[in-house]
């Protein structure tokens, strides 16, 4: 039985002081997390020390929105997976569509980042997803599975708990448009089948596959009903305590 994961990606929002207020309010409202649900917050790099301090001992995990493909060195502006892990982070997002689109990150670079995350003891949240024109042309599954293969080239997680895959259709991120529950389930099932080919059936059965893309309380329960959807990578709805808390409760069946 896979434990649902609800991960809030704050993107480039909130100052350290705003983050501190959010964490305290969220923990006060959350109390004990619903049984069998994991919660993680993914703030920008300057906020990670605040997350480490405020979430310590709470059971709520945190992680980075990106890590470098390099362990150390003269790479101005980069943040290594080792630096993130040393703060106590559990996760690192790699291959988010905004990184792929705005920074032209190819899947080969995403694979290198995932490898660095694993070597540092972090669990990569590997994002894949198709643009609208591919979806409309009927090539979404083939496109996403090819992206997954290339993003995992040379990557050996070692166990299903060391990898999370997030399906984020590019056309649904921040647009208000959402894939139907059937779309999300179809893609999640296809991703799991591909992981079985790559790492074996037992590995694929244990890996969590998330959906991301304009998730909100009004649509999350239906998306979670898919047998292969194990939670959500949440953008805008994670910025407000009330909406993110509701998503967590929904994942817990409440």
C-alpha distance from residue 237 to each of 39, 180, 219 (Å): 14, 18, 12
With contact defined as beta carbons under 8 Å apart, do 46 and 16 qualify?
yes
**pLDDT greater than 90 at residue 168:** yes
**Largest Cα–Cα separation, the chain:** 49
Q: Which residue has the higher pLDDT, 121 or 213?
A: 121
Closest residue by Cα to residue 114 from 161, 83, 157, 64 = 157
Domain encompassing residue 95: 5-251
CATH number for 16: 3.20.20.70
Mean pLDDT of the chain: 96
Name the catalytic one among 38, 96, 98, 194: 96
Instruction: Say what the pTM is.
Output: 0.97
The answer to whether 133 is a known catalytic residue is: no
Question: How far apart are the C-alpha atoms of 245 and 32, rounded to whole Å?
Answer: 12
Cβ-based neighbour number of residue 23 at 10 Å: 22
The tally of domains found in the chain comes to 1
pLDDT at residue number 173: 77
pLDDT at residue number 175: 77
34: pLDDT confidence band, cut at 50, 70 and 90?
A: confident
**Structure tokens of 91?**
């996760």
Q: Give strand ranges (E) for the chain.
A: 5-9, 38-42, 61-64, 91-94, 123-128, 164-167, 208-211, 231-234
**Structure tokens of 147?**
């992206």
The answer to whether 96 is a known catalytic residue is: yes
**Sole residue written with tokens 């596959």:** 209
Question: How far apart are the C-alpha atoms of 214 and 179, rounded to whole Å?
Answer: 9
212: pLDDT confidence band, cut at 50, 70 and 90?
A: very high
Rounded to an integer, the average pLDDT of 172-188 is 87
**pLDDT greater than 90 at residue 249:** yes
pLDDT at residue number 5: 98
Name the catalytic one among 105, 168, 185, 194: 168
With contact defined as beta carbons under 8 Å apart, do 230 and 5 qualify?
yes
Work out the angle at residue 13's Cα, subtended by the Cα atoms of residues 7 and 14, and round it to the nearest 5 degrees. Answer: 100
Work out the angle at residue 107's Cα, subtended by the Cα atoms of residues 139 and 207, and round it to the nearest 5 degrees. Answer: 80
C-alpha distance from residue 158 to each of 15, 93, 210 (Å): 36, 18, 20
172: pLDDT confidence band, cut at 50, 70 and 90?
A: confident
**pLDDT greater than 80 at residue 254:** no
């Amino acid at each position: 039985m896979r434990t649902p994961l609800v991960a809030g990606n704050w993107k480039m929002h909130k100052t350290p002081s705003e983050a501190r207020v959010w964490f305290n309010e969220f923990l006060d409202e959350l109390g004990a997390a619903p049984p069998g649900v994991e919660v993680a917050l993914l703030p920008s790099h300057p906020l990670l020390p605040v997350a480490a301090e405020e979430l310590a001992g709470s059971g709520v995990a945190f992680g980075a929105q990106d890590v470098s493909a390099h362990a150390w060195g003269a790479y101005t502006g980069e943040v290594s997976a080792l630096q993130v892990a040393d703060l106590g982070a559990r996760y690192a997002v790699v291959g988010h569509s905004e990184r792929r689109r705005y920074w032209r990150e190819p899947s080969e670079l995403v694979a290198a980042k995932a490898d660095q995350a694993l070597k540092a003891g972090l669990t990569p949240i590997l994002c894949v997803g198709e643009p609208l024109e591919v979806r409309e042309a009927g090539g979404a599954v083939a496109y996403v599975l090819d992206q997954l293969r290339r993003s995992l080239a040379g990557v050996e997680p070692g166990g299903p708990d060391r990898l999370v895959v997030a399906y984020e259709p590019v056309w649904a991120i921040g647009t208000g448009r959402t894939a139907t529950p059937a779309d999300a389930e179809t893609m999640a099932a296809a991703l799991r089948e591909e992981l079985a080919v790559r790492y074996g059936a037992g590995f694929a059965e244990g890996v969590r596959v998330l959906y991301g893309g304009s998730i909100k309380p009004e649509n999350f329960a239906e998306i979670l009903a898919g047998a292969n959807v194990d939670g959500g990578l949440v953008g805008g709805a994670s910025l407000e305590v009330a909406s993110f808390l509701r998503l967590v409760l929904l994942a817990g069946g409440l």
